[in-house]
């Protein structure tokens, strides 16, 4: 406990699913937390209330990570309120399953914008803050589909693959400033986010060595580790909580 005491974290997409679980875990470990959300205001308010009950400070800030002005306002508000930014979790994302023959340019661009443009804008805005502090942690959520792909998920897989390379390049750029950049590539996590039918999910779970799908709570240890001093020698690395589906 208290591995993140005194730290301030920003979590995009922090009002639902994986982001919400990470926000709770960070607060339990002593961090003040700002969650960025673009849909689900009542859920965002619920998260803030939950975090404040732990004795930590919390904010919920409506932010479209694809909009430069929104991201600038997010980082500015967190810095003005909490005084610093120690951890950025790039968690905001979307999914859409469709054959490539039915995919529009708008579909493709939206997938790239949310994942790649969003990560770029958030990282660009927190980098100067962390550089001035000479410390920081950036954690980027990618996916095992960046490695193995999936039919009907070509755009999503491509976007997540781009985040892997983005992580490695940014890690090299920011490491001299005391900022560690790493990523997490989960397998199929049961958040209601993935549009796969339930029977497909059950079959997938049966195929795994662990014989079950992951839950958001199965990932929080990796996020806490990468945000803490325990990860001080991790730079440009990717952790793979996937139930044993792939073993890179």
Q: Which residue has the tokens 């059950």?
A: 202
How far apart are the C-alpha atoms of 136 and 100, rounded to whole Å? 39
Considering 26, 147, 156, 233, which one is annotated as catalytic?
156
How far apart are the C-alpha atoms of 134 and 120, rounded to whole Å? 20
Q: Are 33 and 51 in contact (CB under 8 A)?
A: yes
How far apart are the C-alpha atoms of 245 and 88, rounded to whole Å? 28
User: What percentage of the chain's residues is helix, strand, coil (to nearest 5)?
Assistant: 50, 15, 35
Residues recorded for the chain: 248
- H or E element in which residue 149 lies: none
Q: Are strands 32-37 and 238-239 parallel, antiparallel or unpaired?
A: unpaired
- CA separation, residue 227 to residues 135, 156, 181 (Å): 11, 26, 10
156 belongs to the catalytic site:
yes
Question: Where do the H-state alpha helices sit in 83-219?
Answer: 105-112, 118-133, 145-148, 154-174, 198-207
Catalytic residues: 156
């Amino acid at each position: 406990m208290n591995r993140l005491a005194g730290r301030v974290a920003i979590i995009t997409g922090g009002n639902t699913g994986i982001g919400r679980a990470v926000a709770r875990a960070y607060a339990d470990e002593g961090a003040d937390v700002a969650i960025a959300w673009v849909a689900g205001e009542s859920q965002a308010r619920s998260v803030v209330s939950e975090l404040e009950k732990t004795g930590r400070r919390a904010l919920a800030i409506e932010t479209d990570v694809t909009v430069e002005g929104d991201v600038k306002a997010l980082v500015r508000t967190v810095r003005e309120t909490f005084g610093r930014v120690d951890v950025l979790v790039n968690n905001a994302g979307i999914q859409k399953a469709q054959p490539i023959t039915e995919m529009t340019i708008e579909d493709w661009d939206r997938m790239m914008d949310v994942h790649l443009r969003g990560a770029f804008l958030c990282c660009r805005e927190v980098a100067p803050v962390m550089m001035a502090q000479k410390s920081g942690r950036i954690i980027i959520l990618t996916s095992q589909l960046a490695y193995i792909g999936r039919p009907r998920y070509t755009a999503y897989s491509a976007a997540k693959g781009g985040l892997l390379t983005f992580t490695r390049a940014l890690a090299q750029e920011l490491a001299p400033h005391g900022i560690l950049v790493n990523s997490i590539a989960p397998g199929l996590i049961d958040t209601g986010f993935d549009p796969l039918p339930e029977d497909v999910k059950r079959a997938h779970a049966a195929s795994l060595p662990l014989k079950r799908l992951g839950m958001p709570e199965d990932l929080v240890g990796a996020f806490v580790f990468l945000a803490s001093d325990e990860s001080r020698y991790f730079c440009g690395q990717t952790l793979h909580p996937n139930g044993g589906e792939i073993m890179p």
